[in-house]
Amino acid sequence: MPTALSILQHTFGYPAFRGQQADIVEHVAANGDALVLMPTGGGKSLCYQIPALLRPGCGIVVSPLIALMQDQVDALTQLGVRAAFLNSTLDLQEANAIEQRLLNGELDLLYVAPERLLTPRFQSLLRRSQIAIFAIDEAHCVSQWGHDFRPEYIQLSVLHENFPDIPRIALTATADHLTRLEIVDRLALQEAKVFLSSFDRPNIRYAVVEKDNPRKQLLYFLRNAHPGDAGIVYCLSRKKVEETAKWLQEQGIRALPYHAGLDASTRQAHQTRFLREDNMVIVATVAFGMGIDKPDVRFVAHLNLPKSLEGYYQETGRAGRDGLPASAWMTYGLQDVILLREMIEQSGTPDEIKRIERQKLDAMLGYCEAPSCRRQVLLHYFSEDATPCGNCDLCLNPPQTWDATTAVRKALSTIYRSGQRYGAGHVIDILLGRETAKMRECGHQHLSTFGIGKDVSEAQWRSTLRQLVATAMVGVSEHGGLHLLDACRAVLRGEQTLQLRRVSDDKQIISAGSKTATVTLDTDEERELWAALRQCRKHLAEEQNVPAYVIFGDATLKHMLEKRPQSLEALHAISGIGDMKLEKYGTDFLAVLQRHHKIHAL
Ligand code: ADP
Ligand code: ZN
């Protein structure tokens, strides 16, 4: 009888379980139900794949991600696991053949779309087959409030009713507490053991830069921090997506657009290129994302403020699934806040929901204007404690603060005296004493605060107003007009002093996303070997028509670079090289390593 550890080592090629994987596998293999809450990249797949291999019969994996099933099955087949999928992309004959394999006990894992699973025909097929476990992936799809909602997921509780003796494991990377409760309720998992991991993603470096020519800032970030890397750029609108993708292409970046307005075949083609080629940038609306299983997404950039920290966490979580360094980078300005507020107010949703949406946006603002470690803010929001991380822009480059009490009083009184309905731009013009047409039109050049803020730069004023909005001293109407809120009274009365963040100079603003290299290649010799290993992988991937990472992930190539194995045995000890892959690709990679060794030994 193989053990969980021997399967991990021989089939998957990993030396040890991570985090709670071992406990989860043991629990499910011993017939227990489980709810697994683990961040993206935490290693959820092994939690159901290994129990399925340990128990007699086939593991049934319910997944909404039809586009991914082929790659998932390819990856398992590479490892020698007998895997298949059933979804609408198969014709009748192909589907029948797979059903037959299930009945004959010739499958270890079968991925199924939920709508197919629920058909009476499939339920009857299941009754006639030996089932090892049911795995419900992306379990948050049961939540009607999330934007990944799949109505069929709600009916998945029938699995429990029809097959009470088969263990079920539901998995999700959703950090949100209410969604977790909903999963338990709707999937009837009250008896299941809950395995909750930390939602920290230590390899992701968070950074927020003040918006000032966002395209240029993005380009600078791409060229300096992530040249030649794969990544996702999120924009708010389809139009922005198109424009940004086109502009990046003109700048020589391999960028493609993706949004719901493109026809299905274009979307599919762009997604496939992103998954298969290892240096594509996809510019997208939030429609792009769920089920992007690509492990080597090196950055996620936001050109607009997301609506909530839940969304932000999920979107940025698509970076660095392989555990290697990755970036979450965002540009943000007051205009974003105004736009989102406007969208909330005009959405026509009930007041109750609007109130929640406003709170979520405020939390998002709190993250952008955080005075110290961003990761702390993010994890606190998900009720986790954390110490300063050392891997976010604020930890790496602590912002300077200044005593802004006097300046803030000038700003507050300008807002008050001009009637509490003008936007940040005009308020700043008053403070700086600018005689614009609008100024003359409103007669604001006669205000006593006209020109009293010339000692502070425009950028500093913009930042100050944003911080006042983020700390709820100043409110923004849906048209962008600023007004005073209760919290500013103490400052106005001189009872409270205020330390605010000083705006960084332009160079710092732009470079806040510093280089986060996947592998540090210090010498020409190392660069040469790295390129040769990648070339070998690319060649094999093309030959087999699978994504490069299905052959070996970057983490595995990195180990090869570090350890320089010179025999098949030594290669077998590399993390990510199991029995089957050693047999298939061992000699190819060994040849590359030996050739390189010989050349450089001379
Ligand atoms: P999730 O589904 O939670 O996002 P995956 O199951 O895709 O995560 O795993 C993320 C990455 O980590 C994959 O490349 C996987 O092969 C790797 N991985 C998972 N478990 C281990 C382990 N015990 N040792 C080494 N690598 C692992
Ligand atoms: Zn930090």
Q: Per residue in 223-271, pLDDT tens? A: 999 998 999 999 999 999 999 999 999 999 999 999 999 999 999 899 9
Contacts of 168 (CB under 8 A, 6+ apart): 33, 34, 133, 134, 135, 136, 159, 160, 187, 189, 192
Q: What percentage of the chain has pLDDT greater than the value 90? A: 71
Length of the chain: 602
Contacts of 371 (CB under 8 A, 6+ apart): 394, 399, 401, 501
pTM: predicted TM-score of the whole model, two decimal places: 0.86
Residues flanking ion ligand 2, Cβ below 5 Å: 373, 375, 389, 392, 395
Compare 204 and 478 and report the one with higher pLDDT: 204
Phi-psi region of 576 (alpha: psi -120 to 50; beta: other; left: phi over 0): left
CA distance linking residue 215 with residue 509, whole number of Å: 13
For 549, counting Cβ atoms within 10 Å of its Cβ (0-12 exposed, 13-18 middle, 19+ buried), the class is: buried
Which ligand 1 atom lies nearest to the CA of residue 18? 23
The whole-number pLDDT of residue 510 equals: 42
As for ligand 1, residues whose beta carbon falls within 6 Å of it are 14, 17-18, 21, 38, 40-46, 295, 321-322, 553, 575
AA identity, residue 203: N
Compute φ and ψ for 137, nearest 5 degrees.
Answer: -85, 155
Compare 503 and 500 and report the one with higher pLDDT: 500
The whole-number pLDDT of residue 476 equals: 86
- Per residue in 111-153, pLDDT tens? 999 999 999 999 999 999 999 999 999 999 998 777 788 899 9
Pocket test for ligand 1, best of 8, 12, 558 (most atoms within 8 A of CB): 12
Compute φ and ψ for 385, nearest 5 degrees.
Answer: -80, 150
Compute φ and ψ for 122, nearest 5 degrees.
Answer: -75, -35
Nearest CA to ligand 1 atom 17: 43
pLDDT of 395 higher than 60: yes
Which ligand 1 atom lies nearest to the CA of residue 39? 3
The CA-atom distances, in angstroms, between 508 and each of 225, 332, 336, 462 are: 13, 15, 21, 17
pLDDT of 391 higher than 80: yes
Contacts of 207 (CB under 8 A, 6+ apart): 327, 328, 329, 330, 374, 392, 393, 512, 513
- Per residue in 337-356, pLDDT tens? 888 888 888 888 899 888 88
Return the number of other C-beta atoms located less than 10 Å from residue 430's C-beta: 26
340 three-state secondary structure: helix
CA distance linking residue 420 with residue 120, whole number of Å: 63
Q: What's the CA-to-centroid distance between 218 and ligand 2, angstroms?
A: 21
Helix H or strand E segment including 407 = helix 405-417
3-state helix, strand, coil in the chain (%, to 5): 50, 10, 40
Q: Rounded to an integer, what is the distance from CA 298 to the centroid of its chain?
A: 10
3-state secondary structure string, 30-58? CCCCEEEECCCCCCCHHHHHHHHHHCCCE
The whole-number pLDDT of residue 516 equals: 58
CA distance linking residue 340 with residue 127, whole number of Å: 50
Return mean pLDDT, the chain. 91
AA identity, residue 229: D
Locate the DSSP E strands across 198-342.
Answer: 204-210, 231-234, 255-258, 281-284, 299-302, 326-332
Which ligand 1 atom lies nearest to the CA of residue 12? 16
AA identity, residue 11: T
Domains of the chain plus CATH, in order, are: 4-196 (3.40.50.300), 204-396 (3.40.50.300), 401-503 (1.10.10.10), 524-601 (1.10.150.80)
Q: What's the CA-to-centroid distance between 555 and ligand 1, angstroms?
A: 11
pLDDT level of residue 287 (50, 70, 90 thresholds): confident
CA distance linking residue 571 with residue 104, whole number of Å: 36
The whole-number pLDDT of residue 504 equals: 67
CA distance linking residue 141 with residue 119, whole number of Å: 19
The whole-number pLDDT of residue 515 equals: 56
Compute φ and ψ for 401, nearest 5 degrees.
Answer: -115, 165
The whole-number pLDDT of residue 302 equals: 97
Taking a C-beta distance cutoff of 8 angstroms, is the pair 305, 332 a contact? Answer: yes
Nearest CA to ligand 1 atom 2: 44
